[in-house]
């Protein structure tokens, strides 16, 4: 037993591995979040111990005895409000999972330094904190705002109001003060900032059991036996589940049902994220300790760790799945051979991108609760409630209406929470035991299980005429998709579609193959293949520009898509594509100024589709209801993961209904079929805004009667699958971006990134800027340092957050954001979506700047630093 002061009151706790476990599991203090315990590498659990900022997950309990621990719950209300308001006003939080820890660090710094706290000093002190969403600059803005208020003082006179609901002014265009186009704070930003909005692991129910997974020890091995006896004998263990306990389907998946929820005895593992067993116990520590006692006998086999070797082999990489080619996507227009032969300049390169981890800061967590009516309630932080429900029902062998999946706002996802991670196993445990079960993955388990961004080998030939007009492109891509499909075939399809970038290629010939290996599964990740493809495209454009004697800006300007031009797979571009040239023109002054100043400069131009496209019929619905108590409910079923879809829903409703936003409640409703599909592909804002607007208009036409559910729908049903027509409309909308990376020639440091983005209509400039800055941060990491490598045994060699190469606050250069608005035809309000495009051009721009600096063309990500001359 250990006693200490918690927020001024004496508490005594039992045995726990660290202070964070005592706070969260025994004392029910949940503002400190657990992103990586017990490694102390993310900072999400930072608390004050005797006034000093300390990560609670790496502090042994006996070191706290008799000391004073302060969490956000213990700050006085005025101080809480001040921090929440500053973070909300600055856009300093998105998913919010990192924010409570950062707020506590900021409090310690401000208590010590007050108005003396500078932005630079704060950035250095935030070195122990990761934020995967914001790009850190908005956090530093909040710190500056607080510091200017003086130590413990009030916000300075003349500062913009920082109400958590309304901040700043509408951006014009006839917007209402909080409607579409307004710079308002994120919905529920105050709750997020203070750690009061629960993530799945913060949920508590009576009689809760905890589960821990047992993962494969070899990437490819026959499973000879699983002995659960020793684990079952541990006091507090309720049950150990294996494949034999699954009553329904054992393989699940978003597209192909090929991903086993448990690998059975007599089968073969396919990667190190395979689940062999699930231990359910009275508490998490017991479950995890017992999981280590499950004995599995293996016959190890040589894994397929090289996708080219897997492609060439007749042997199946994955047991039970025939062939190692997951998918092949191809299209061609024109005579590429003849066009290349006639070209004044031809370049040929092989590019290689790396595998990358999402590193969302909230590890996957699922809570399943049996209900008295026989249904099973599942609380999931996934990105697609309907897919979760279908897969859980399949595994349980039950009809879908027996499963009610609640979508809980998550602590970041970026595509990494589209597949089920532990939802099916947790639901099965709850169903079999008849008790609530929660399974929260450790950071290492999370890293091993969920899908990554594909490493893709891209071999390309590109040509242009003597004036720099592009003539032809041939691209061959091979993506390492890992063992299970996830959405790997769609990622490679998207990479193929985007292979030409936002340029006009009179002749084009593209093929992209997704290969099954025993490396980590690869699937959806912000950019969805467009990043990899356009890293190569931009490299080709720069090389051709050099061959022609043109600068990079001029080369792009001569070839950028224009309305009526034929793009990539044959799509005739609409007026929305004018945004690509708008972005180029917007960065031109900065490009010329930087070059005139002797800086090393790289330019990237990119496009990214919004929505699913490729012939899918996309339908999103929303419901608006005027309630008896005067509130207005807006119901949708999109996952809020920091991108701001709730805020978009609120702004659209405020705009259409003309009601005070304080009256509007945004509710994620999964009790009815609102048909949104996955929250993915930059589609939440586009589709969600359309659906909410339609619901509001239905309400207005009917006089907004109290108690009536007004349903609205937004439908996109005019896209074509690749290869179904000569002039397809593959995608309904694209976002565009041009980015400059400006480097100091003496130090090789990136001084500044200039990011011009066309998002169609900007629903909320504060949140839109946040998406761009956060994406640039992620794009710079992708370019320079991030990687999730594996060895020749297909074993990840990065097992902690620190090893992933994620940039910290002091590493992110200033980002100048320019938001442009070239409306998208046929889209609600002209919205294009901005979630992914922000990191598409970045790696190419960094490669260009490095080449400008030292003359070396780079083809491999992450990029080598500049050679000093
Ligand atoms: Fe920082 Fe999401 S807001 S990790």
Q: Encode pLDDT of 773-786 as tens digits.
A: 999 999 999 999 99
pLDDT per residue as tens digits for the range 489-517: 999 999 999 999 999 999 999 999 999 99
Most informative mutation of 100, 131, 363, 639 for ligand 1 (most atoms within 8 A of CB) = 131
> Any idea which residue has 């500062």 for tokens?
159
Q: How far is CA 392 from CA 175, 383, 421, 708, in A?
A: 43, 14, 11, 32
Backbone angles phi, psi at 387, to 5 degrees: -65, -40
pLDDT at 680 over 90: no
Question: Strand 237-241's sheet: what is its strand order?
Answer: 237-241, 275-281, 209-215, 437-440, 365-370, 376-380, 403-407
Rounded distance from Cα 82 to ligand 1 centre (Å): 19
CA of 839 relative to ligand 1 center, distance in Å? 17
Buried b (16+ CB within 10 A) or exposed e, 145-160: bbbebeeeeebeeeee
Distances (CA, A) of 772 to 20, 91, 136, 652, 710: 33, 12, 12, 21, 34
Long-range contacts of 20-25 (CB under 8 A, 24+ apart): 20/45, 20/55, 20/56, 20/57, 20/59, 21/57, 21/284, 21/285, 22/61, 23/47, 23/56, 23/69, 23/71, 24/201, 25/283, 25/284
3-state secondary structure of 401: helix
Q: How far apart are CA 682 and CA 819, in angstroms?
A: 16
Q: If we measure between CA atoms, which residue out of 507, 543, 512 comes closest to residue 529?
A: 512
Nearest ligand 1 atom, CA 361? 4
Nearest to 272 by CA among 482, 419, 478: 482
For ligand 1, say whether the CB of 132 is within 6 Å of any of its atoms.
yes
What per-residue confidence (pLDDT) applies to 678? 63
Could you tell me the pLDDT band of residue 688, with boundaries at 50, 70 and 90?
confident
Q: Which atom of ligand 1 is nearest to the CA of 102?
A: 1
| Whether residue 96 has its Cβ less than 6 Å from ligand 1 | yes
d(C-alpha 801, C-alpha 798), whole Å? 8
Cα 95 to ligand 1 centre (Å): 5
529 and 510 in contact (C-beta within 8 Å)? no
Residue-wise DSSP of 240-255: EE-GGG--S-SEE-SS
Q: Give the pLDDT mean for 810-831.
A: 94
The answer to whether the CB of 567 is under 6 A from ligand 1 is no
In DSSP notation, 766-804 reads HHHHHHHHHHHHHHHHHHHT----B-TTS-BS--SGGGG
**C-beta of 95 in contact with ligand 1 (< 6 A):** yes
Q: Are 391 and 252 in contact (CB under 8 A)?
A: yes
CA–centroid distance, residue 43 to ligand 1 (Å): 11
* 3-state secondary structure (DSSP) of residue 10: strand
Of 94, 100, 362, the residue with max ligand 1 atoms within 8 A of its CB, to mutate for a pocket test, comes to 94
CA of 411 to the centre of ligand 1 (A): 7
Residue with tokens 């805004």: 689
Mean per-residue pLDDT for 641-665? 90
Q: Which residues contact 74 (CB under 8 A, 6 or more apart)?
A: 6, 7, 8
Å from CA of 92 to ligand 1 middle: 9
Distance 34 CA to ligand 1 centre (A): 13
Closest ligand 1 atom, residue 96 Cα = 3
Q: CB of 134 closer than 6 A to ligand 1?
A: yes
Nearest CA to ligand 1 atom 2: 95
Q: How far is the CA of 96 from the centre of ligand 1 (A)?
A: 5
pLDDT of residue 675: 66
Q: What confidence category does residue 644 fall into, taking pLDDT thresholds of 50, 70 and 90?
A: confident
Task: Give nearest CA residue, ligand 1 atom 4.
Answer: 131
CA of 828 to the centre of ligand 1 (A): 28
862 phi, psi to nearest 5 deg: -70, 155
The least confident of 393-402, 531-540, 638-647, 772-781 is 638-647
pTM (2 d.p.): 0.95
CA of 761 to the centre of ligand 1 (A): 25
Q: In the prediction, which pLDDT does 162 show?
A: 36
Cβ 193 under 6 angstroms from ligand 1? no
Ligand 1: atom nearest CA of 642 is 2
User: Rounded to the nearest whole angstrom, what is the distance from the C-alpha of residue 827 to the centroid of ligand 1?
Assistant: 29
Task: Give SS3 for 62.
Answer: helix
Proportion of the chain above pLDDT 70, given as a percent? 96
State in Å: Cα 524 to ligand 1 middle.
19
> Given pLDDT bands bounded at 50, 70 and 90, which one contains residue 487?
very high
What is the C-alpha to C-alpha distance for residues 465 and 806, in angstroms, rounded to an integer? 41
Q: Can you tell me which atom of ligand 1 is nearest the CA of 95? A: 2
How large is the average pLDDT for residues 250-262? 97
Is 50 exceeded by the pLDDT of residue 67?
yes
Q: In whole angstroms, give the CA distance from residue 91 to residue 838.
A: 17
DSSP class of 863: P
Best of 102, 194, 361 for a ligand 1 pocket test (most atoms within 8 Å of beta carbon): 361
Query: Could you tell me the pLDDT band of residue 669, with boundaries at 50, 70 and 90?
Result: confident
Atom of ligand 1 nearest to the CA of 93: 3
Confidence of residue 173 (pLDDT cuts 50, 70, 90): very low
On the CB side of 618, CA atoms within 13 Å amount to: 27
DSSP, collapsed to helix, strand or coil, labels residue 387 as: helix
The Cβ of residue 1 has, within 10 Å, a number of other Cβ atoms equal to: 8
CA of 123 to the centre of ligand 1 (A): 16
* Confidence label for 472 from pLDDT (cuts 50, 70 and 90): very high
User: What's the 57 CA to ligand 1 centre distance in angstroms?
Assistant: 18
Report the residue among 46, 140, 362, 412 best suited for mutation to probe ligand 1: largest number of ligand atoms under 8 A from its CB. Answer: 412
**Ligand 1 pocket, 42 CB below 6 A?**
no
* Ligand 1 neighbourhood includes 97 CB (under 6 angstroms): yes
pLDDT-derived band at 670, boundaries 50, 70, 90: confident
Ligand 1 pocket, residue 735 CB under 6 Å: no
What is the per-residue pLDDT across 102-155, written as a single tens digit (0 to 9) for each?
999 999 999 999 999 999 999 999 999 999 999 999 999 999 999 988 433 343
Question: In Å, how far are 214, 219, 281, 554, 589 from 550, measured between CA atoms?
Answer: 57, 49, 66, 6, 17
Judge whether 264 and 223 are in contact, CB under 8 Å: yes
414 lines ligand 1 (CB under 6 A): no
Ligand 1 and 410: CB distance under 6 A:
no
Beta 259-260 vs 437-440: how paired, if at all? unpaired
Which of 601, 706, 622, 615 is closest to 663 using CA atoms?
Answer: 706
For 186-283, where are the alpha helices, taking DSSP H only? 189-193, 229-232
Look at residue 846 and tell me whether its pLDDT is greater than 80: yes
Mean pLDDT (the chain, rounded): 93
Q: What is the per-residue pLDDT for 637? A: 77
Res 178: pLDDT: 83
Residue range 58-81: average pLDDT?
A: 97
Query: In this structure, what token pair is assigned to residue 694?
Result: 């339609």
Ligand 1 contacts CB of residue 195 (under 6 A): no
The band of 672, judged by pLDDT with boundaries at 50, 70 and 90, is confident
State in Å: Cα 302 to ligand 1 middle. Answer: 39
Q: Is the CB of 133 under 6 A from ligand 1?
A: yes
Nearest to 382 by CA among 440, 421, 436, 426: 421
Residue ID of nearest Cα to ligand 1 atom 1: 131
Ligand 1 centre to CA of 35 (Å) is 11
């Amino acid at each position: 037993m250990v006693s200490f002061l918690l927020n001024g009151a004496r508490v005594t706790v039992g045995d726990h591995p660290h202070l964070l476990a005592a706070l969260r599991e025994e004392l029910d203090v949940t503002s400190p979040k657990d992103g990586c315990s017990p490694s102390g590498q993310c900072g999400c659990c930072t608390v004050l111990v005797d006034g000093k900022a300390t990560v609670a997950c790496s502090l042994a309990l006996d070191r706290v005895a008799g000391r004073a621990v302060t969490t956000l719950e213990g700050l006085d209300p005025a101080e809480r409000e001040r921090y929440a308001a500053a973070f909300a006003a600055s856009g300093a939080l998105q998913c919010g999972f990192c924010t409570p820890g950062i707020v506590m660090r900021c409090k310690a710094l401000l208590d010590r330094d007050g108005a003396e706290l500078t932005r630079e000093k704060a950035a250095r002190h935030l070195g122990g904190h990761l934020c995967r969403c914001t790009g850190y600059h908005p956090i530093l803005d909040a710190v500056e705002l607080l510091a200017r208020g003086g130590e413990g003082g009030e916000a300075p006179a003349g500062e913009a109001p920082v109400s958590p609901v309304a901040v700043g002014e509408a951006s014009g265009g006839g917007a209402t003060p909080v409607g579409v186009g307004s710079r308002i704070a994120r919905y529920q930003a105050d709750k997020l900032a203070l750690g009061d909005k629960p993530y799945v692991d913060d949920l508590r129910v009576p009689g809760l059991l905890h589960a821990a997974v047992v993962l494969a020890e070899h990437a490819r091995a026959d499973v000879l036996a699983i002995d659960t006896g020793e684990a079952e004998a541990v006091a507090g263990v309720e049950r150990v589940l294996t494949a034999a306990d699954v009553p329904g389907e054992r393989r699940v998946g978003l597209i192909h049902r090929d991903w086993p929820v448990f690998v059975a005895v007599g089968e073969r593992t396919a990667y190190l994220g395979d689940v062999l067993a699930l231990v359910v116990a009275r508490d998490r520590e017991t479950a995890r300790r017992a999981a280590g006692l499950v004995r599995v006998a293996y016959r190890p086999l040589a894994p397929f760790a090289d996708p080219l070797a897997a492609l060439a082999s007749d042997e199946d990489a994955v047991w039970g799945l025939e062939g190692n080619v997951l998918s092949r996507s191809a299209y061609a227009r024109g005579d590429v051979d003849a066009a290349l032969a006639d070209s004044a300049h031809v370049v040929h390169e092989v590019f290689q991108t790396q595998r990358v981890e999402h590193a969302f800061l909230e590890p996957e967590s699922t809570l399943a609760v049996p209900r008295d009516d026989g249904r099973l309630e599942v609380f999931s932080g996934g990105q697609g409630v309907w897919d979760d429900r279908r897969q859980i029902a399949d595994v349980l062998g039950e009809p879908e209406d027996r499963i009610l999946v609640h979508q809980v706002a998550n602590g970041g996802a970026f595509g990494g929470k589209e597949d089920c991670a532990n939802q099916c196993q947790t639901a099965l445990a709850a169903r079999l035991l008849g008790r609530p079960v929660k399974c929260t993955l450790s950071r290492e388990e999370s890293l091993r299980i969920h899908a990554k961004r594909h490493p893709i080998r891209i071999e390309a030939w590109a040509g242009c005429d003597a004036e720099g007009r592009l003539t032809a492109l041939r691209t061959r891509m091979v993506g390492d998709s890992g063992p299970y499909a996830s959405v790997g075939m769609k990622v490679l399809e998207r990479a193929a579609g985007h292979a030409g970038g936002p340029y006009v290629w009179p002749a084009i010939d593209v093929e992209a193959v997704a290969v099954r290996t025993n490396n980590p599964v690869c699937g959806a990740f912000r950019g969805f293949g467009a990043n990899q493809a356009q890293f190569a495209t931009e490299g080709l454009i720069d090389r051709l520009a050099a061959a022609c004697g043109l600068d990079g800006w001029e080369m792009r300007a001569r070839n950028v898509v224009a309305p009526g031009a034929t793009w990539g797979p044959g799509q005739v571009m609409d007026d929305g594509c004018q945004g690509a040239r708008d972005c180029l023109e917007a960065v031109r002054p900065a490009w010329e100024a930087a070059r005139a100043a002797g800086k090393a400069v790289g330019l990237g131009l990119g496009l990214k589709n919004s929505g699913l496209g490729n012939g899918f019929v996309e339908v999103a619905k929303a419901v608006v209801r005027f309630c008896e108590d005067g509130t207005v409910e807006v119901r949708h079923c999109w996952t809020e993961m920091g991108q701001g879809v709730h805020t978009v829903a609120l702004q659209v409703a405020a705009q259409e209904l003309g009601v005070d936003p304080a009256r509007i409640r945004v509710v994620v409703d999964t009790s009815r079929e609102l048909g949104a599909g996955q929250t993915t592909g930059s589609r939440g804002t586009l589709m969600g805004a359309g659906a909410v607007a339609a619901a509001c208009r239905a309400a207005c036409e009917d006089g907004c009667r109290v108690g009536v559910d007004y349903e609205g729908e937004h439908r996109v049903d005019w896209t074509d699958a690749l290869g179904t027509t000569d002039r397809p409309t593959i995608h309904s909308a694209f976002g565009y971006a041009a980015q400059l990376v400006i480097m100091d020639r003496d130090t090789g440091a990136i001084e500044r990134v200039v990011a011009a983005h066309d998002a169609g209509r900007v629903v909320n400039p504060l949140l839109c800027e946040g998406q761009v800055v956060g994406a640039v941060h992620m794009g710079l990491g992708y370019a320079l340092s991030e990687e999730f490598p594996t060895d020749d045994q297909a074993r990840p060699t990065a097992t902690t957050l620190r090893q992933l190469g994620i940039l910290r606050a002091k590493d992110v250069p200033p980002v100048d954001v320019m938001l442009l608005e070239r409306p998208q035809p046929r889209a609600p309000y002209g919205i294009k979506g901005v979630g992914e495009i922000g990191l598409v051009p970045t790696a190419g721009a960094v490669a260009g700047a490095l080449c400008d600096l030292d003359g070396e063309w780079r083809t491999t990500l992450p990029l080598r630093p500049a050679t000093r001359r």
